[in-house]
Structure 1
Amino acid sequence: MPRELVLPEGFVPAEVPDPPVEPRDSATVMLVRDGAAGMEVFLLRRVAGMAFAGGMTAFPGGSVDPRDADASVAWHGPEPRWWADRFGVEEGLARALVCAAVRETFEESGVLLAGPDATSVVSDTAPFAAARRGLVDRELSLAAFLAEAGLVVRADLLRPWANWVTPIEERRRFDTRFFLAAVPSGQHADGATSEATDAGWYRPTDALDDWKHGRRGLLPPTWTTLAELEECGSVDAAMASERTITKLVPRVVRDGGVLRIVIDGDAGYADAANQLDATPDDRVQLR
């Protein structure tokens, strides 16, 4: 992690929950496209007053809805067992994670990774505007929406990318699986969501430059993922990346007057107290 990457003031609570909060399973999707000046990724600036990561820039995503595990969802692409092996989870959760990725992407960006059959993808999502609102309001499940619309999840359009877990110091924790997807031809990401103040397409290098100059807030998983996408250079290269998914559980350390995130392999990770300012005897086990 770069030394300039520090946590916002007040981001970590003064008292660490004991026992630690159980992380909620969630999915986030990096939507990419090839722009005139190189690959671009779709980013949202979260509403400042949100309980978690308010004001920060992020990718579309959110928590798994129990209904995302509905086995009746029509499906094309790698089966849940394949995803379970990649993310190191049981098959039911793997199905729910893929469905959550599809649902949250549609809710927050209007991009729908589904089609009438295994060989086609929706090119115009406008007819599904009412269904999108129903999904956002939790009045409609993904399974019910797809069945009524005669669509199947296109799991083959997604790629597994990473797995980050919110540090143990947080009161709101997420076990987030990161996916990559190219925007289907004819579809447009709009960012019409109440959870964001603005949204748009950015080259990873530009988003990182905005962060460097204080124009954008990035949490460590977002910063890391943008740096990885920057190295890929193109949608084809990114989609072809062979990723080994390792669960990353960062720890928070106090460095002078700032808080930093360290991950396994960083100096200080092994000795970092899970509870800020705690003695070694006070440490609690990561979950």
Structure 2
Amino acid sequence: MQSDDPAGEDKTRVRDAATVIVLRDRATAPKILMGQRGAAAAFMPNKVVFPGGAVDPADAEVPLAAPPGETCRARLAEGAPPRLVNALAAAAVRELWEETGLVLGRPGAWPGTPPADWARFAATGHLPSAEGLTFVFRAITPPGRPRRFDARFFLVDAERIAGDPDDFSGAEEELSHLRWIPLDRVREADLPFITEVVLAEVAARVAHPGPPPSVPFFRNSDEESLFLRLHGRPMPE
């Protein structure tokens, strides 16, 4: 896991990141898994957030038992290097594991020694799987913030979790107070603005499983802020 203030980090650059929205009881009483960031965190202190974090260099080399769906891959590749697609999916699986202890994966043995950040995940006897991830939102942190991320938000049903979705015993300490919050009450929590925006998209997806018609993209730069839609483009050969 990347620390909140890694030594030597260029705080002005925009880092690619993946965020995971786990949805439970979609058809009956939808709930979302969230946790609270620490008071000393440089980015969004004390806020209630989805699990997620920056892409690590090793994520691009991680073997996926299954990639994201074709539509999701095409949209992730829009305006991004091809190698980043699997890295984003792997980062989503890793961050969910690190911050909640929940496994998105299939039983299987790793080919060789896993990267250090993946050692605990590999020890569960699973390979990471991105087949249940649906790419639903992208947003770049506005200029002037202490950290900036180009974050891709993935929605996944809790049924994809390998094991007990209430067992957070394997979580590290990035998030506290992990809990399933009813979707119709989640705005009562202390949320970042972008989380509130993403939740509107999640609510629309509850009744319509599968990839959305297009993916909203808030692109913030020093020059302008744009609201775009990602429809996907053909994957390179």
| Fold shared by both chains (TM-score > 0.5) | yes
- The one-letter code matched in structure 1 to 2:175 is A
CA distance in 1, matches of 2:221, 2:193: 11
- The one-letter code matched in structure 2 to 1:99 is A
CA distance in 2, matches of 1:149, 1:190: 14
Q: How does 1:96-115 map to 2 (within 5 A)?
A: 96-115=87-106
> Are residue 75 (structure 1) and residue 31 (structure 2) matched?
no
Q: Please, which of 200, 213, 219 is the counterpart of residue 179 of structure 2?
A: 200
Question: Offset at 1:116?
Answer: 1.9
- The one-letter code matched in structure 2 to 1:46 is R
Q: CA RMSD in A?
A: 3.1
Asked if 1 retains the 8 angstrom alpha-carbon contact of 2:97 and 2:121, the reply is no
> Are residue 160 (structure 1) and residue 149 (structure 2) matched?
no
Q: Please, which of 35, 39, 51 is the counterpart of residue 44 of structure 1?
A: 35
Question: Offset at 1:146?
Answer: 6.3
> Are residue 188 (structure 1) and residue 177 (structure 2) matched?
no
Asked if 2 retains the 8 angstrom alpha-carbon contact of 1:68 and 1:100, the reply is yes
CA 1:78 to 1:231, structure 2 compared with 1: closer, same or farther past 3 Å? closer
State the identity as a percent.
Answer: 30
User: Secondary structure at 1:55's aligned position in 2?
Assistant: coil
- CA deviations 1:243-281 (Å, max 9, x no partner) are 4224313589xxxxxxxxx9646xxxxxxxxxxxxxxxx
Question: Offset at 1:151?
Answer: 3.1
CA distance in 2, matches of 1:40, 1:110: 18
- The one-letter code matched in structure 1 to 2:44 is A
Structure 1 unpaired stretches of 5+? 1-19, 118-134, 211-215, 253-261, 266-287
Partner of 1:244: 214
User: Secondary structure at 1:205's aligned position in 2?
Assistant: coil
Q: Please, which of 45, 48, 58 is the counterpart of residue 54 of structure 1?
A: 45
Structure 2 unpaired stretches of 5+? 1-10, 109-113, 228-237
CA distance in 2, matches of 1:54, 1:203: 23
Asked if 1 retains the 8 angstrom alpha-carbon contact of 2:38 and 2:175, the reply is yes
Partner of 1:174: 149
User: Secondary structure at 1:101's aligned position in 2?
Assistant: helix
CA distance in 2, matches of 1:175, 1:245: 14
Asked if 2 retains the 8 angstrom alpha-carbon contact of 1:164 and 1:247, the reply is yes
Greater Rg by CA: 1
- CA deviations 1:222-246 (Å, max 9, x no partner) are 10122222344x4xx3532424224
